[in-house]
């Protein structure tokens, strides 16, 4: 058994060598291959220091350069930064209490309406300044545009279209809208507008340097919307898709007036102090309370759960 095996192996070896030569020859003739240069791709963990440089410290090198007469220009470690939106809402609008609760036909309602129509002087000045820079701005047409921006921005939020959202919403508002929402599904629908939107407030602050104007306009919107937020696993977290809610909102839109390519973008929302509490989350949440010692009971402590103060805050 051994000798026949060895003979076959030898013959195999000879045959493969012949075949190799044949392969070479045949391949050269038919397809001339490009010569592949091997490249070193292994990472060098130890790179030896360059032999021959004298021990030079940073100070010595600088002294030598100065002696030789080489002058370096002063290096400013600066970068130009474009601020396209202001940091907050300047001089926020304080919505009157009981707004949208009284009907327009009653006497109190009419008084509120007349008050609202004749705006404060500052707002009128601001609107005039905005009209200087943006000739197309009118208090009659702007609310409709603003409502469209609002609806498009929220639709982009449901689809999470980052580029479109950045063009419709300022950089200050973007993280507030999208924080924690990346791994959640939001279903939002704008059904109808109950009252036509109105401009209620305007201000023209300037940031950093005088003349760098930003225009902020507050809009009052009364509309019907549905909202449902689902968490990462598709379970309902907040709201309901069928239930329609009447929403009274005070939106703030901003534009960098000095920039000719500036656009009116959603900058924030104003939550009045008298706003009703929002619906609770569909989840039991632990409110942090006092530390109990081993023998104590919670009921015996008479601990009052602190309620949040009703303060107006800007969102």
Partner 1 sequence: MATTVTGPGFLRILTGQLHSRLLAFGGGPQSLSCFHTSTPLEVNKNWDRRNFKLYPPQSPDEPRRPAEVHHCRRQIKYSKDKMWYLAKMIRGMSIDQAIAQLEFNDKKGAKIMKDVLLEAQEIAVRNHNVEYKSNLYIAESFSSKGKYLKRIRYHGRGMFGIMDKVYCHYFVKLVEGPPPQVEPRTSLDQAKEYVQNLKNRTIIHSL
Is beta strand 265-271 parallel, antiparallel or unpaired with respect to 236-256? antiparallel
Closest distance to partner 1 from the beta carbon of 20 (Å): 7
Tokens of 36: 């592949």
> Which residue matches tokens 């100065």?
66
Shortest distance (Å) from residue 2 CB to partner 1: 15
- Spatial CB neighbours of 218, under 8 Å, sequence gap ≥ 6: 92, 93, 199, 200, 201, 202, 250, 251, 252, 270
Q: Where does this chain bind partner 1 (CB under 8 A)?
A: 4, 7-8, 11-12, 15-16, 19-20, 22-24, 27, 31, 33, 35-36, 38, 43, 183, 185, 187, 228, 230-237, 283-284
Residue number with CB closer to partner 1 (25 or 247) = 25
Pick 100 or 228: Cβ nearer partner 1: 228
CB of 189 to partner 1, least distance (A): 14
Taking the C-alpha atoms of residue 44 and residue 4, their distance in angstroms, rounded to an integer, is 50
Number of H helices and E strands in the chain, helices first, is 7, 5
CB of 278 to partner 1, least distance (A): 17
Question: Shortest distance, CB of residue 267 to partner 1, whole angstroms?
Answer: 28
Least Cβ distance, residue 102 to partner 1 (angstroms) = 38
Closer by beta carbon to partner 1, 158 or else 167: 158
Q: Which is nearer to partner 1, 22 or 159 (CB)?
A: 22
Distance, in Å, from the CA atom of 244 to the CA atom of 207, rounded to the nearest integer, reads 40
Shorter beta-carbon distance to partner 1: residue 46 or 233: 233
Find tokens 């045959």 and name the residue.
15
Q: How far apart are CA 165 and CA 149, in angstroms?
A: 10
Q: Which lies closer to partner 1 via its Cβ, residue 15 or residue 273?
A: 15
Cβ contacts of 98 within 8 Å, gap of 6 or more:
108, 112, 274
């Amino acid at each position: 058994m051994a000798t026949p095996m060895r003979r076959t192996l030898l013959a195999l070896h000879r045959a493969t060598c012949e075949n190799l030569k044949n392969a070479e020859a045949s391949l050269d003739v038919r397809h001339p291959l490009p010569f592949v240069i091997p490249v070193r791709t292994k990472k060098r963990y130890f790179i030896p220091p360059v032999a021959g440089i004298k021990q030079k410290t940073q100070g010595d090198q600088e002294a030598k350069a100065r002696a030789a007469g080489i002058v370096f220009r002063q290096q400013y470690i600066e970068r130009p930064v474009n601020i396209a939106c202001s940091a907050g809402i300047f001089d926020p609008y304080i919505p009157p209490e009981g707004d949208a609760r009284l009907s327009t036909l009653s006497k109190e309602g009419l008084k509120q309406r007349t008050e609202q129509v004749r705006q404060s002087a500052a707002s009128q000045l601001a609107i005039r300044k905005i009209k200087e820079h943006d000739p197309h701005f009118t208090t009659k047409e702007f609310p409709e545009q603003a409502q469209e921006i609002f609806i498009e921005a929220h639709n982009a939020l449901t689809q999470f279209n980052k580029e479109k959202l950045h063009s419709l919403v300022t950089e200050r508002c973007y993280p507030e809208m999208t924080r924690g929402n990346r791994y959640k599904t939001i279903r939002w629908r704008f059904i109808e507008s109950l009252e036509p939107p109105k401009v209620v407030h305007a201000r023209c602050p300037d940031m950093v340097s005088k003349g760098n104007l930003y225009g902020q306009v507050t809009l009052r919107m009364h509309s019907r919307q549905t909202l449902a937020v689902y968490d990462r696993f598709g379970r309902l977290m907040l709201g309901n898709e069928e239930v329609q809610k009447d929403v009274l909102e005070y939106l703030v839109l901003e534009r960098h007036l000095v920039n000719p390519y500036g656009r009116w973008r959603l900058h924030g929302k104003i939550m009045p102090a008298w706003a009703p509490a929002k619906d609770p989350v569909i989840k039991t949440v632990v409110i942090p309370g006092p530390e109990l010692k081993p023998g104590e009971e919670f009921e015996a402590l008479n601990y009052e759960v602190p309620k949040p103060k009703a303060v107006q805050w800007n969102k």
